[in-house]
Structure 1
Amino acid sequence: NLVHNGDNIATPGVGTWNVTLDLGGEDNFSATVSQYPNELYMTGSGVGLDEENWNWFEPLQLIPVHSHPELFWKIVWMKGSGEFKFAPQADWGDDFGVTGTANADGVYAKGGDNVTVPATAGYYMVVVDMKNNTVQVTEPKVYGIGSAFGSVWAAEDANYLFTIDNANEVIEFVGVPDDGDLRAHVAATTLACDWWQAEVNIDPATGDIAFRGTGGDPASFPLTTGQTISLNFKAGTGSAAK
């Protein structure tokens, strides 16, 4: 806790650190020191809406990974041409991109160059690892898990991999196997976490795509056998229907 005329706040090492102050309680102030940004955004000429052109028109905020402050991800629509970069706020400052070329998994070293989008327009998965200083751009993978998917709780089960339908701007699963609540997660080679730490769902109250992020379990979204789950990450909406 913070105290009047107390000791200096120590950082764990050399580098850039974020200091978060909690002033919410009388005589119970606290400070948290983190090496990683609390938020991460992207902008450029090759991502998001047509109006998005290096101008932060639409805040393209990446999703933080639960219990992994070094990791952020986002499934984003890329336009087939153009570039993008990242920043820890929806504005310029401490922005970054990549350096060099990507490996076979689409993994770049973090650097100062713009990231060139793939030549085919559509959805792509972006993962930023601030600890290992990598940026990955790859095919998105969304998996169903749990009671509506054979009651299988093993991550990345190929039987429950969603299909990318770029023509209709959705990622979908056709023919839910069982009645149950929707549970789903994303995956990528640099997204080193448990499935629930990168969970995606549908908000039953709004129909918006819901992300666990750093929060708790999502609200239950009931499914019935045979439904098709559609996730439009461009619009931020989801649905399930026969």
Structure 2
Amino acid sequence: MTTFITKLAGLGLAATVLLASCEKDEEKVTMEPATASALTASTASVVLLQADAAKNAITYTWAPTTYGYQAAVSYTLQFDKKGGTFAAPIEIEAGSSTTKVITTSELNNVLLKLGMAAGNAGQVDVRVKSSVSSVVAPTYSGASTITATPYSEFILYPQIYVPGSHQGWAPDKAPFLASEKSDDKYEGYINFADASTKFKFTPAPNWDNDFGDDGTGSGLKAKGADIEVVGAGYYRFNVDLKNLKYSYTKTAWAIIGSATPGDWNTETPMTYDVTKGVWTVTTTLKAGAELKFRANNAWDIDMGDKLPADGKPDYKGDNIASPGAGTYTITLDLSKGEGNYAYTINK
């Protein structure tokens, strides 16, 4: 009996020690309220240039977020327009580091995704998100504000030039068409201000190998006749140098969709800005809705944005999501040739 009681006592003591040990282990992983990071930027203002795309634009540093134990913390920089709520921020991962160098190209992509207009300065709020686990709510630093000017990223595709009476017959200063697929098929938009415009196509910014009309009104030949367009307006050009064909269509642009005042039934016209070479409209948009760009009050020529949206419109692309209810200035830029078309929606 004594042995039995002794054994029971031993088991009780062991259980007590085990329980105490568990309680101590549990205390070791008890998380204290996190101490949020303090975010610092290397500069408060930056003007971005495409020529500096690979260079460093800004460096962010922050103090480590502490949780009262040795936690594996991962950090993410979040960007939103000044005054935004970070409801749908643009993010850049920083891993476990407490510093992040952002290149000009990276920052420019962030700004364009936020809908900032190229060439215009705007303010952006930036904060750092600290995460330790998917089951633990992240913590956030206070917001740091920078003033930044993005650029419209230009990709150099093969080009042909369109010199003519609209610009003094100077091929070295002429507007151009571009071939995004490098397949000898070129496209672009040119505004003609005069009632009648004559021009030719040149593969280089000189007169060494120009192409004009072959007498059919749609065919090309070397050193052919001047091509004439009757009527002022904004024209879409398509040129096929392999098969020596060309065509053009006069266009007037608008927006349409469930986000716009006219829904999908009535389009909202845009106005062409001769100085900037872009189409614009300032109008109200609805939340949780969509829109597209289209020409000539018809669906023959329309543009959306293939997902994931990147601010570069595509023919027959996906509907563009409204950024929310409010009044916006919407800009469509088709001035830089195929492959470099762009749009912005700014509140």
TM-score by length of 1: 0.48
Using structure 2 for the length normalisation, give the TM-score: 0.36
Report the structure number with the largest CA radius of gyration: 2
State the structure with bigger RCO (CA 8 A, min sep 6), 1 or 2.
Answer: 1
